[in-house]
């Protein structure tokens, strides 16, 4: 699995963001290399066979837009731009910027994953559309979570309403079944933020999610509590 995993290059001058993305993407089974500016970026391009570049708009020296253009000029490597919120953004978005996709900061990590998948799929010329939408469905223990419509269907066929947060949390679990996920990890995966001390928002979200998907919330079978560790999704997950 690892040697077929797409190799992502993250170009950002903010060390914190580089690290965060590197950790996040590695967790999601991508290979990751980072660069802090255009020079390092082109060096990495020589050293590796890359699949996707995630490029910050604001960079020391040559800016991301210019780098994106140069990249585009001599390769068809897909590019996702990160744009800081603020003045320039609107205009750049209004007039296309030559990237395959863009994401305004601060972004939802799950959103980034979705865009990456879309861009990679497009770049590989693989069939999209219906197949892609279908492949967005996840099945577990008789339940079905449709990635396109965000609809959750119970084993008996009834639809269960999920709030956005509940959906993200459940998705995070389904992406990492049979693995203990700490509250920090879950918060990162589902919300893209880091936990403050005494932050128990995940506990509550878990509680609410259990109420909807567990037969007996008092004795959860799908989302187990790992005392001192976090939570673990125990069911088999199948992509259809």
What is the 3-class SS of 186-201, one letter each residue?
HHHHHHCCCCCCCCCH
Write down the residue that tokens 């077929």 correspond to.
4
Q: Among DNA, its own copies, none, what does residue 191 contact (CB within 5–8 Å per kind)?
A: DNA
What would the x/- binding string for its own copies be over residues 159 to 188, using CB under 8 A? -----x-----------x-xxx-x-xx--x
Contact flags string 98-137 toward its own copies, x per CB under 8 A: x--x--x---xx-x------x----------x--------
203 binds, among its own copies, DNA, none (CB under 5 to 8 A by kind): DNA
> Minimum distance between the CB of residue 151 and its own copies, rounded to whole angstroms?
10
The answer to whether the Cα torsion of 213, 161, 205, 23 is positive or negative is positive
Per rule CB under 7 A, is residue 210 in the interface with DNA? yes
Told to check if 207 binds DNA by CB under 7 A, we report yes
For its own copies, which residue of 88, 90, 131, 215 counts as binding (CB under 8 A)? 90
Residue 24 contact among DNA, its own copies, none, beta carbon within 5 to 8 Å by kind: its own copies
Q: Per-residue DSSP letters for 121-156?
A: HHHTT---THHHHHTTEEEETTEEEETTT--EE-TT
* Cβ distance to DNA smaller for residue 49 or 227: 227
Distance CA 202, CA 231 (A): 10
CB 179 → its own copies: shortest distance, Å? 8
N-terminal to C-terminal alpha carbon distance within the chain: 19
Cβ proximity to DNA, 132 vs 180, nearer residue: 180
Crossing angle of the two packed helices 109-123 and 183-191, in degrees rounded to 10: 60
**DSSP alpha helix (H) spans, the chain:** 15-27, 38-47, 64-74, 87-94, 109-123, 130-134, 164-175, 183-191, 201-213
How does 225-240 read in b/e, with b if 16+ C-beta sit within 10 Å?
Answer: eeeeebbbbbbebeee
Binding range to DNA, per CB under 7 A, among 19-27, 66-74, 88-96, 221-229: 221-229
Binding flag, residue 218, DNA (CB under 7 A)? yes
User: Which chain residues interact with DNA by CB under 7 A?
Assistant: 161, 163-166, 191, 196, 198-201, 203-208, 210-211, 217-218, 220, 225-230
């Amino acid at each position: 699995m690892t040697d077929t995993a797409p190799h992502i290059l993250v170009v950002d001058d903010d060390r914190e963001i580089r690290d965060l993305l590197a950790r996040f993407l590695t967790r999601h089974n991508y290979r990751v290399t980072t660069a802090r500016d255009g020079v390092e970026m082109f060096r990495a391009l020589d050293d590796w066979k890359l699949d996707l570049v995630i490029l910050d708009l604001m960079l020391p020296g040559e800016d991301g837009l210019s780098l994106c253009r140069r990249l585009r000029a001599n390769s068809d490597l897909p590019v996702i731009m990160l744009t800081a919120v603020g003045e320039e953004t609107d205009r750049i978005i209004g007039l296309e910027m030559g990237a395959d996709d863009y994401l305004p900061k601060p972004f939802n990590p799950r959103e980034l994953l979705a865009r990456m998948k879309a861009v990679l799929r497009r770049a590989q010329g693989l069939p999209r559309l219906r197949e892609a939408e279908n492949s967005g469905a996840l099945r577990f223990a008789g339940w079905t979570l449709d990635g396109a419509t965000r609809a959750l269907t119970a084993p008996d066929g009834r639809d269960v309403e999920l709030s956005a947060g509940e959906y993200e949390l459940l998705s995070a679990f389904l992406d990492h079944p049979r693995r203990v996920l700490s509250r920090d990890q879950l918060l990162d995966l589902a919300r893209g933020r880091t936990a403050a001390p005494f932050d128990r928002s995940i506990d509550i979200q878990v509680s609410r999610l259990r109420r909807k998907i567990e037969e007996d919330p008092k004795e959860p079978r799908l989302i187990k509590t790992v005392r001192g560790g976090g939570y673990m999704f125990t069911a088999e997950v199948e992509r259809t």
